[in-house]
Chain A
Amino acid sequence: KQEVTQIPAALSVPEGENLVLNCSFTDSAIYNLQWFRQDPGKGLTSLLLIQSSQREQTSGRLNASLDKSSGRSTLYIAASQPGDSATYLCAVRGGAGSYQLTFGKGTKLSVIP
């Protein structure tokens, strides 16, 4: 069974700092990995998708990397802003015989003005 772990569970940083969120998964036979943002009581907003053949993807201040062989991904947020405060979810597609997304529990980010 694919397991996804996100560290840390919560993170509080002052505005303007760069930060890294970590995601690890147990089965490296994945098709892709997707990072989402979730605001309280809301749905999931897709941030970045990395295919298994890719090493990284960038969108604005966000950069996600993937090391499939070691079962790790990072989400780098540059120059954090209070509006970045949310829970960030990592999800992998595939592994352990399933084609579906398996989610981590998320990292709750607070950016302090």
Chain B
Amino acid sequence: EPEVTQTPSHQVTQMGQEVILRCVPISNHLYFYWYRQILGQKVEFLVSFYNNEISEKSEIFDDQFSVERPDGSNFTLKIRSTKLEDSAMYFCATQAGIGELFFGEGSRLTVL
């Protein structure tokens, strides 16, 4: 069964460092999303991406965050200068059309 693949599964970084999280979407999906879940809290929307551009972003997605699909397959989330409060599980999700979203297993980011 097709699945969304995320790497790394866990990353530990120092505050102020840059982090890149990667996602391989399901092959025929056109809509891509990043969500995050801080421990014990709700899953929160960060950004949606379609046709090589951001279609919607939340207040959380400030100038420290960026997304791209550099090679037509991987979909990446970059955090330029990590802060302690960026520690969370980051989920990539993809969608073919207007139906179900399919989520990856997540990348746990720990900022020290």
Contact = CB atoms under 8 A, between A and B. Distances in A.
Interface residue tally of chain A, by bracket? 20 to 34
Contacts of A44: 43, 91, 93, 103
A44 B94 CA distance: 12
Contacts of B48: 99-100
Interface residues of B, number: 23
Interface string A46-89: 10010000000000000000000000000000000000000001
| Interface residue SS majority, chain B | strand
B31 to A, nearest CB: 10
Interface string B38-66: 00011111001000000110100000000
Given A91-B43, A102-B45, A104-B42, A46 B56 contact: no
B43 A89 contact: yes
A43 B41 contact: no
A101 B101 contact: yes
A12 to B, nearest CB: 19
B41 A49 contact: no
A89 B48 CA distance: 20
B101 A103 contact: no
B43 A103 contact: yes
B100 A98 contact: no
Contacts of A102: 45
B43 A43 contact: no
Interface in A1-59: 31-32, 34, 36, 41-46, 49
8 contacts: A41-B108, A44-B91, A46-B103, A49-B100, A89-B43, A100-B45, A102-B45, A105-B41
Given A89-B43, A101-B45, A105-B42, 19 more contacts: A31-B98, A36-B103, A41-B108, A43-B91, A43-B104, A43-B106, A45-B103, A46-B102, A46-B103, A49-B100, A91-B43, A98-B56, A99-B55, A100-B48, A100-B58, A103-B43, A103-B44, A104-B42, A105-B41
